[in-house]
């Protein structure tokens, strides 16, 4: 018998994914408005494929797959596991049906529970189950992002849920100061799970710096727009300016103006822009340009991690989604950092097929730190390194400001 707590968490994460989708209409499950947004049906199936391909097939001799076509359709990007369906074509699949995918989920969930009940102190199995739980937690957040994009791409702007994801209240803004010196970042706990990209723990040297304790608000960002920030070439990185011009970018994703008033599409539907809420759905390019406009800068990932460690407030408990509604850096939105997503010194990918999980994406992306309101509560870590390309903004990203003290 595998650890009860692990079994409980496994059941919880599987149910949570399904509860998110229970609020959708059947037509919502297959839509893919842009290549990087996956249909909810695909998320339901892919998180199940991960269990079948990487766990059941490994621990059950001569395992007969539920459906061999699923191995190709729901493999995301693991080249070592064979051919996979093109990411941009996930929305082309009307079959298998949503109903068939739910049946697939139920069968594979039960097989995993059986496997866990028959194994005793199997460290290798516990490790991969832990990874699978974390993987599904990532997809929970992706589901919220993708559902928002799918509904937001529809001119009728339907609300996903009236209750979830409360508006964000004010918090007092101040600067937190850090002195020059050697600091340690990265993960090395023998007890707690972390992804391979968070290790090894290592020393970094930081010059004296300060971080502002609140996120940039919609109201502050609006001042940037009204000062023609998008039109001032000297504020932008070269690639950023190309992106702004080529895509006619004039505001964060989901913002729109009607009769002189700014609105924002949210998971609650269309809302008048709340100026006190943190600005979200901004690209790295926008975050960087905004910081430059303020004569400030984005923090490095090391600076942010040291700030988070000083707060020690990333440990979330009780409810599955983080319930607080305060405008603090490390709990509401993923904060862009100026750090390129690169291997830490001494980095080693996970062994085996899951070696493709993180390492192969360490090119042309930037690190985001903290976590957001859609991040499952067990998924927050000071050492967590999220990463996106600099033009992407459909994730729940925000802006945090830093400055040099010398």
Which residues of the chain form contacts with Fe ion (CB under 5 A)? 76
Complex with Fe ion: residue 338 or 358, whichever CB lies closer: 358
In the complex, the smallest distance separating the C-beta of residue 136 from Fe ion, rounded to whole angstroms, is 8
Could you tell me the two tokens for 92? 């082309």
In the complex, the smallest distance separating the C-beta of residue 77 from Fe ion, rounded to whole angstroms, is 8
Give the number of other CB atoms < 10 A from CB of residue 319: 9
In the complex, the smallest distance separating the C-beta of residue 133 from Fe ion, rounded to whole angstroms, is 13
In the complex, the smallest distance separating the C-beta of residue 13 from Fe ion, rounded to whole angstroms, is 13
In the complex, the smallest distance separating the C-beta of residue 376 from Fe ion, rounded to whole angstroms, is 14
Contact 3, 126 (CB under 8 A): yes
Complex with Fe ion: residue 76 or 173, whichever CB lies closer: 76
Complex with Fe ion: residue 84 or 292, whichever CB lies closer: 84
In the complex, the smallest distance separating the C-beta of residue 197 from Fe ion, rounded to whole angstroms, is 15
In the complex, the smallest distance separating the C-beta of residue 139 from Fe ion, rounded to whole angstroms, is 6
Q: Rg of the chain's alpha carbons, rounded to an integer?
A: 21
Between CA 72 and CA 314 the distance in angstroms is 37
In the complex, the smallest distance separating the C-beta of residue 140 from Fe ion, rounded to whole angstroms, is 11
In the complex, the smallest distance separating the C-beta of residue 129 from Fe ion, rounded to whole angstroms, is 15
Q: Which residues contact 187 (CB under 8 A, 6 or more apart)?
A: 194, 198, 199, 201, 381, 383
Between CA 320 and CA 322 the distance in angstroms is 7
Complex with Fe ion: residue 51 or 253, whichever CB lies closer: 51
Between CA 25 and CA 31 the distance in angstroms is 11
Complex with Fe ion: residue 135 or 212, whichever CB lies closer: 135
Q: Name the residue whose CB lies closest to Fe ion.
A: 76
Complex with Fe ion: residue 93 or 241, whichever CB lies closer: 93
Complex with Fe ion: residue 77 or 175, whichever CB lies closer: 77
**17 exposed, middle or buried (CB, 10 Å; 0-12, 13-18, 19+)?**
buried
Between CA 386 and CA 358 the distance in angstroms is 10
Cis peptide bond upstream of 96, omega within 30: yes
Contact 37, 47 (CB under 8 A): no
Return the HEC string of 176-218. EEECCEEEEECCCCCCCCCCHHHCCCEEEEECCEEEECECCEH
Q: Which residues contact 45 (CB under 8 A, 6 or more apart)?
A: 70, 73, 74, 96, 101, 104, 105
Complex with Fe ion: residue 58 or 297, whichever CB lies closer: 58
Complex with Fe ion: residue 53 or 330, whichever CB lies closer: 53
Give the number of other CB atoms < 10 A from CB of residue 246: 9
Backbone angles phi, psi at 257, to 5 degrees: -110, 135
Between CA 344 and CA 367 the distance in angstroms is 12
Complex with Fe ion: residue 74 or 290, whichever CB lies closer: 74
In the complex, the smallest distance separating the C-beta of residue 281 from Fe ion, rounded to whole angstroms, is 22
**305 exposed, middle or buried (CB, 10 Å; 0-12, 13-18, 19+)?**
buried
């Amino acid at each position: 018998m595998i650890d009860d707590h692990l079994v409980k968490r496994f059941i919880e994460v599987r149910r949570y994914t399904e509860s998110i989708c229970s609020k959708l209409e059947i037509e919502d499950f297959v839509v893919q408005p842009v290549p990087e947004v996956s249909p909810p049906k695909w998320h339901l199936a892919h998180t199940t494929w991960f269990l079948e391909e990487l766990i059941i097939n490994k621990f059950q001799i001569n395992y007969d797959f539920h459906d061999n076509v699923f191995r190709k359709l729901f493999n995301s990007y693991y080249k070592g596991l064979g051919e996979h369906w093109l990411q941009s074509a996930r929305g082309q699949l009307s079959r298998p049906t949503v109903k068939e995918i739910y049946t697939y989920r139920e069968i594979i969930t039960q097989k995993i529970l059986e496997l866990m009940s028959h194994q005793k102190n199997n460290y290798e199995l516990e490790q991969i189950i832990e990874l699978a739980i974390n993987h599904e937690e990532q997809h929970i957040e992706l589901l919220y992002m993708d559902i928002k994009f799918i509904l937001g791409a529809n001119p009728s702007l339907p609300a996903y849920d009236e209750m979830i994801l409360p508006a964000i209240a004010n918090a007092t803004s101040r600067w937190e100061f850090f002195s020059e010196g050697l600091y340690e970042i990265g993960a090395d706990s023998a007890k707690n799970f972390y992804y391979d990209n968070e290790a090894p723990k290592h020393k970094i040297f930081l010059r004296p710096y300060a971080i502002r304790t609140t996120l940039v608000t919609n109201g502050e960002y609006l001042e940037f727009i009204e000062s023609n920030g998008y039109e001032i070439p000297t504020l932008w990185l070269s690639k950023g300016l190309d992106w702004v011009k080529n895509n006619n970018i004039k505001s964060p994703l989901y913002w729109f103006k009607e009769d002189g008033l700014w609105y924002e599409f949210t998971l609650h539907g269309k809302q008048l822009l709340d100026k006190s809420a943190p600005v979200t759905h901004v690209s790295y390019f926008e975050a960087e340009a905004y910081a430059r406009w303020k004569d400030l800068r984005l923090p490095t990932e090391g600076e942010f991690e040291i700030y988070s460690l000083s707060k020690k407030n990333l440990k979330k408990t009780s409810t599955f989604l983080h319930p607080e509604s305060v405008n603090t850096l490390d709990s509401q939105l993923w904060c862009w950092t100026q750090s390129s997503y690169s291997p830490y010194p001494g980095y080693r990918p996970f062994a085996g097929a899951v070696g493709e999980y993180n390492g192969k994406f360490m090119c042309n992306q930037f690190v985001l730190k903290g976590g957001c309101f859609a991040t499952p509560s067990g998924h927050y870590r000071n050492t967590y390194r999220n990463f996106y390309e600099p033009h992407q903004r459909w994730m729940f990203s925000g802006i945090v400001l830093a400055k040099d003290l010398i």
